[in-house]
């Protein structure tokens, strides 16, 4: 729109009643036909804009930020397929949603200190498949999980046996997309035993597998894990090998596995190196995740890496593949994770109670996307 006139420009008042005065001795031309806009036409335009803005703040129009301008209606969307969200805050959830994260996968792992009995495992599994799933949804992010006995705790034989016994009842729960994190820590006999038992369980329950590769002796541990999977005839197209680096990527991809990278801040495996990897290896079967947890980690690592990849000249298509569609392809295999969940999500209503608890504390104003629903309908038991 161009404004021309002789008198000084009157201050803009966002109210159509003041338009006559505003237009008094000026000509505003229409941006599409270049014709003269009357006060009445301008008033209509203003009310259209106000309606659009109101619809946007009601959540009727979802806009997602992000660098990848491809993938049709999924452009700019991010899936973080490795995030230990129980140790993150509601601020993290809000920041992730603003950065374009539409879904997260919470892999079962250890807690930073050893569990002492199977009961704490049972509660943990039900937390990551229950309340955390609800909590995430209250901030507009779909939450899925993987279930498994981690390699570190496989070394406590009594605990490990008890955990293996309770796994089946959690493997069939809603939102469980794989078994994981499985693999090796110190590559002991007991770790090997637990890994093999769980590969068989994954086959029985038709679930993909997420592999945690050891941080020490990574290359040897990664090769050994893939050998064991092959011995058990586990289809590599149903398995993600995580925490890769340049030493492991070639063999992991050559053998047909999905190849995930955890981006840890201030370490060697940062965004810059990830961008270089995608540039030289291409995006096929590569997945980027934050692996954020209770340690020094960044829940926005995937979004930041995507932005850097764009700056380094990686194509929008390739970025979309490594931050969204590859993860969806493999973790969507058992049908629990589907894009409809975030393309047509239920309206957020933070008055919702999960077993009597909400995400709000006394006096806070709930976010309500669809006003008018009775609070009685908002109970998850
Ligand atoms: Zn891990
Ligand atoms: Zn992890």
The string of pLDDT tens digits covering residues 122-143 is 999 999 999 999 999 999 999 9
What is the length of the chain?
Answer: 381
- Residues lining ion ligand 1 (Cβ < 5 A) are 181, 212
Contacts of 356 (CB under 8 A, 6+ apart): none
CA distance 151 to 215: 12
Q: What's the CA-to-centroid distance between 353 and ligand 2, angstroms?
A: 29
Element (H, E) at 336: none
What ligand has the least distance to the C-alpha of 244? 1
Q: What's the CA-to-centroid distance between 67 and ligand 2, angstroms?
A: 26
pLDDT band for position 7 (50/70/90)? very low
What pLDDT is recorded for position 63? 39
Distances (CA, A) of 25 to 20, 35, 44, 120, 347: 10, 16, 20, 75, 47
Q: What's the CA-to-centroid distance between 242 and ligand 2, angstroms?
A: 9
Q: What's the CA-to-centroid distance between 312 and ligand 1, angstroms?
A: 28
Query: How many percent of the chain have pLDDT more than 70?
Result: 84
pLDDT band for position 70 (50/70/90)? low
What pLDDT is recorded for position 42? 72
pLDDT band for position 156 (50/70/90)? very high
What ligand has the least distance to the C-alpha of 107? 2
Q: What's the CA-to-centroid distance between 213 and ligand 1, angstroms?
A: 7
Query: Of 201 and 377, which is predicted with more confidence?
Result: 201
Q: What's the CA-to-centroid distance between 169 and ligand 1, angstroms?
A: 23
Q: What's the CA-to-centroid distance between 99 and ligand 1, angstroms?
A: 24
Q: Does residue 71 surpass a pLDDT of 70? A: no
In the chain, list all ranges with CATH 3.20.20.140. Answer: 78-342
pLDDT band for position 49 (50/70/90)? low
- Please give the mean pLDDT across all residues of the chain: 88
CA distance 208 to 194: 16
Query: Of 153 and 43, which is predicted with more confidence?
Result: 153
What pLDDT is recorded for position 309? 97
Q: What's the CA-to-centroid distance between 212 and ligand 1, angstroms?
A: 4
Contacts of 265 (CB under 8 A, 6+ apart): 296, 297, 298, 301
Q: Does residue 69 surpass a pLDDT of 70? A: no
What ligand has the least distance to the C-alpha of 151? 1
* Packing angle, helices 189-204 and 157-171, rounded to 10: 10
* Residues forming a β-bridge with 350: none
CA dihedral 95, 182, 214, 121 (to 10 degrees): 70
pLDDT band for position 151 (50/70/90)? very high
What ligand has the least distance to the C-alpha of 182? 1
Residue 79's nearest CA partner among 197, 195, 240 is 240
Which three-class secondary structure state does DSSP give residue 362?
coil
Q: What's the CA-to-centroid distance between 183 and ligand 2, angstroms?
A: 12
Q: What's the CA-to-centroid distance between 371 and ligand 1, angstroms?
A: 41
Q: What's the CA-to-centroid distance between 216 and ligand 2, angstroms?
A: 15
CATH of 78-342, one of 3.30.1490.20, 1.10.3430.10, 3.40.50.620, 3.20.20.140: 3.20.20.140
pLDDT in tens, 208-258: 999 999 989 999 999 999 999 999 999 999 999 999 999 999 999 999 999
DSSP code per residue over 185-223: SS--HHHHHHHHHHHHHHHHTT--EEEEPPSSSHHHHHH
pLDDT band for position 57 (50/70/90)? very low
Residue 242 near residue 82 (C-beta atoms within 8 A) = yes
């Amino acid at each position: 729109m161009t404004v021309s006139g002789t008198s000084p420009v009157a201050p803009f008042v966002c109210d159509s009643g003041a338009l006559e005065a505003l237009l008094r001795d000026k000509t505003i031309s229409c941006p599409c036909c270049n014709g003269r806009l009357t006060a009445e036409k301008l008033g209509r335009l203003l009310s259209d804009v106000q309606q659009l803005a109101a619809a946007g703040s009601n959540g009727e129009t979802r806009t997602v930020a992000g660098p990848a301008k491809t993938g049709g209606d999924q452009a700019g969307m991010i899936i973080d397929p490795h995030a230990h969200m129980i140790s993150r805050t509601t601020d993290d959830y809000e920041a992730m949603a603003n950065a374009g994260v539409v879904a997260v996968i919470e892999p079962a792992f250890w807690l930073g200190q050893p569990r002492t009995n199977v009961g704490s495992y049972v509660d943990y599994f039900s937390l990551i498949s229950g309340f955390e799933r609800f909590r995430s949804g209250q901030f507009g992010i779909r939450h899925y999980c993987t279930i498994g006995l981690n390699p570190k705790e496989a070394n406590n034989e009594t605990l490990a046996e008890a955990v293996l016994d309770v796994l089946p009842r959690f493997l069939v729960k809603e939102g469980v997309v794989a078994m994981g994190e499985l693999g090796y820590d110190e590559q002991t006999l007991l770790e090997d035993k637990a890994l093999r038992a769980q590969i068989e369980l994954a086959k029985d329950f038709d679930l993909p597998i997420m592999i945690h590769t050891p941080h020490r002796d990574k290359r040897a541990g990664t090769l050994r894990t893939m050998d064991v999977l092959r011995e058990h005839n586990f289809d590599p197209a149903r398995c993600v090998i995580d925490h890769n680096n340049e030493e492991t990527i070639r063999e992991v991809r050559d053998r047909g596995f999905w190849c995930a990278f955890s981006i840890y801040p201030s370490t060697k495996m940062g965004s810059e190196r990830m961008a270089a990897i995608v540039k030289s290896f291409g995006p096929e079967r590569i997945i980027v995740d934050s692996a954020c947890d209770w340690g020094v980690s960044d829940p926005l690592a995937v979004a930041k890496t995507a932005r850097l990849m764009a700056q380094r000249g990686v194509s929008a298509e390739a970025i979309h593949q490594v931050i969204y569609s590859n993860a969806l392809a493999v973790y969507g295999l058992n049908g629990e994770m589907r894009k409809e969940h975030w393309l047509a999500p239920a309206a957020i209503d933070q008055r919702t109670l999960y077993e009597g608890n909400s995400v709000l504390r006394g006096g806070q104003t709930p976010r309500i996307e669809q006003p008018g629903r009775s609070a009685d309908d908002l109970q998850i038991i």
